[in-house]
Amino acid sequence: MHPVRATVLAVTLAFAAPALAQQPIVLQWQTANLTESQYEPIWKKTIAEFEAANPGIKVEPVLVARKDHWTKFVAAAQAKKAPCIVTVDLTTAAYNGYLMPLDKYFNAEPAAFRDAWSADILSAAKWKGELYGLPIWGGTYGEIYNRDLVVKAGLDPAHPPKTVDEYVAWGRKLTGDDHWMLAVLGGKTDTTTRVLLTWIWANGGEAFNKDMTEATFAKDPKSLAAIKQYLGFAAKGGIAAPSPTTTNYLEQTNLFAQGKIASMRNAYWSVAKVLGDNPALKGRMFATPIPANVSNAPTLSSVAASSISSSCEHPDAAWKFIKFDADKKWSIERAVVANWMPLRNDLADDPAIKADPLLAEFVKMGQHARSYPLPHPAWAGIAANDIVDAVQKALLAPDKTEEIFRDLDARLTKKLRDI
């Protein structure tokens, strides 16, 4: 090479090298919730503070409509171009090889960090014993009451029902010609399944065996008894609102906001929905643990976990962001601002939590919650279709409830064992 050209090239490379070395790592972050307005101010602050603390890393949000979220992720994952940080149907994604195990990162953290999540909550982020996500937020289910209706019925909000029998006794006093104690959910969404599971667990029953290879809705006598009692509330002369087969989350919260039902079994985020429909209910609701027939009955908490895709070229940086996003500060902000329940079990005494009695009660309940979804790649279809179909059939033919759920057990067991 000509000496002059060689000198020019050397100088150019000398100036270019630092610039290339300073190029930041770019992490794409995809979760369907980034498009939700109540979360937007929080995630923007999270990114800004993370980038300020980590100048070599940039986080690029991927805004995808909820209906397109899974499809877009799968297409990108199959092309080995998925965003580094994702919140998706975890067990299905892990089963298909779309996610990276996180045990080496999680186990390297201090005990104080690891102990912030219970074994039950972590179980929703595992597949075949390996951790594929860190639980960030969710929805803990509790019993929410309209205080005015309770007092009007001559009942004491300071002494809510603790057993199912006490709950039914309240129900009779809170039910009239045009109003009811509750709404039985039988609509075509997996919220039907979520609520059904809480009734089963409250009676000491199980819907599945421990390793998710067998369904036991009807096989377990306590499970079947809980199903019959809960669905029986919708029978003529019962304590539940009519039309259960078309009642979903939306219809339930509407009935509660209108004063048509006195209680609803729902997640904390439903409080914001009700207040949006009826602001006059502000300060007029209270929450309690779900009435149960057994001691220490768990409630249910849905789990949204942050995972690292197997396509990610910078997993160390991705874990750094996931850990940052899981910090107490952001967990509390998501609860206070967006009504999303923190899944850490070390926040109950935080002043920001204790300042809101309703939120504080849900955080307390979340410390004894079982995680949802259940850890199986076929779960999404099972929860939204198979179980809901059985519930709807049993609501229409209550005398065949046991037969319907025995058939469900057989079909689900086969489906569980096929994978």
Domains of the chain, with CATH numbers? 15-137+303-351 (3.40.190.10), 140-300+375-417 (3.40.190.10)
pLDDT at 135 exceeding the cut of 80: yes
Structure tokens at 88: 């998706």
pLDDT at 161 exceeding the cut of 60: yes
Placement of tokens 């279809």 in the chain: 381
Q: How many CA atoms lie within 13 A of 401 on its CB side?
A: 19
pLDDT at 273 exceeding the cut of 60: yes
Confidence (pLDDT) at 1: 52
Mean pLDDT, residues 348-373 = 93
pLDDT at 29 exceeding the cut of 60: yes
The answer to whether 392 and 405 are in contact (CB under 8 A) is: no
Rounded CA separation 368/85 (Å): 28
Omega prior to 157 cis, within 30 of 0: no
Rounded CA separation 354/361 (Å): 9
Question: What would the pLDDT profile of 320-335 be if each residue is shown by its tens digit?
Answer: 999 999 999 999 999 9
Structure tokens at 379: 């779960």
Placement of tokens 């999540």 in the chain: 117
Question: What would the pLDDT profile of 60-72 be if each residue is shown by its tens digit?
Answer: 999 999 889 999 9
Three-state SS for 184-236 is CCCCCCCHHHHHHHHHHHHCCCCCECCCCCCECCCCCHHHHHHHHHHHHCCCC
Question: What would the pLDDT profile of 217-255 be if each residue is shown by its tens digit?
Answer: 999 999 999 999 999 999 988 999 999 999 999 999 999
pLDDT at 149 exceeding the cut of 90: yes
In the chain the first and final C-alpha atoms are separated, in Å, by 63
Confidence of residue 4 (pLDDT cuts 50, 70, 90): very low
Q: How many CA atoms lie within 13 A of 92 on its CB side?
A: 14
Confidence (pLDDT) at 11: 46
Confidence of residue 8 (pLDDT cuts 50, 70, 90): very low
Of 212 and 1, more confident: 212
**Number of helical H runs and strand E runs in the chain:** 20, 11
Confidence of residue 270 (pLDDT cuts 50, 70, 90): very high
Three-state SS for 56-111 is CEEEEEECCCHHHHHHHHHHHHHCCCCCCEECCCHHHHHHCCCECCCHHHHHCCCH
CA of residue 150 relative to chain centroid, distance: 29
Rounded CA separation 183/19 (Å): 62
Q: How far is CA 318 from CA 312, 369, 400, in A?
A: 8, 28, 51
In this prediction the pTM is 0.89
> Hey, what amino acid is at 51?
E
Q: How many CA atoms lie within 13 A of 115 on its CB side?
A: 4
Rounded CA separation 379/400 (Å): 25
